[in-house]
Each structure stands twice: as C-alpha cells, then as structure tokens.
Structure 1
Amino acid sequence: MDEPVASPCRNICRLSTEGTLCEGCGRTLDEIGRWQAAEEAERREIARAAAARLASFRPGR
C-alpha cells in the first residue's frame, strides 16, 4: 500500500500577483480547497502538478 500523500503546504501562504497560485506550495486556490476531501490519487496528482508549477514559477511574472 502506498504511503499517504503529505500536504505540499510549506506554511508560506502568499498568493501570486494574479491571485491564482500559492507561492509557497504551488497549488491553485481550487486545489487547496479540495485537498482535505481528495482521495490519495487526486492528492498525488495535485502534489505533482504543484511541484511542477513551483519549479517554473517566477514571482512577479
């Protein structure tokens, strides 16, 4: 059995200039809102997508 997916939250809760992305974890507001109720498969996908976004995120763009 797979390990539970840990929240990508880094306690740096700051929205991007556009107000659509958390600069701390890379999740969208929708993903943050869905996290608690999400199944593990969805959490894995959210965490993967958030990490990819965060890796390419440049503040102020």
Structure 2
Amino acid sequence: MGETPRPDPERVEARAGDLLPDEAGSADPEAQAAAILADSDERGRDRAGGAVEHRRSGEAPPG
C-alpha cells in the first residue's frame, strides 16, 4: 500500500475544533485530527481506489 495523503489543512483545523470528549485530551489536537481524518479517508476509499465524497454532518441524508 502507498503512503496515505495528508488531509486538507482546513479539514484538519475544523476536525480539531470538533473533537469528541472521548477523543479530546491530546497534547496536539491538530495531529490527532489529521490522524483521524487520514484513517477515515483511507477506510472511505472504494475497492477500485477512488476517493469518496466528504460531507459535513449537517449535509448527511436523513436516516
């Protein structure tokens, strides 16, 4: 497997500001947020290797 690309810095900053209570407490919230997003992006890639659409929680379909 190749190297996982770093998430967009704006996404990292937004995610760092939205860490959940069980995620908070890191000495470096932006590094923690970057790791969370990179993991999420990696899991979100389909089997063909394509990228997935990113939505904010308010944009998710009702369910």
TM-score (normalizing by structure 2): 0.36
More contact order relative to length (CA 8 Å, sep ≥ 6): 1
Larger Cα Rg: Structure 1 or Structure 2? 2
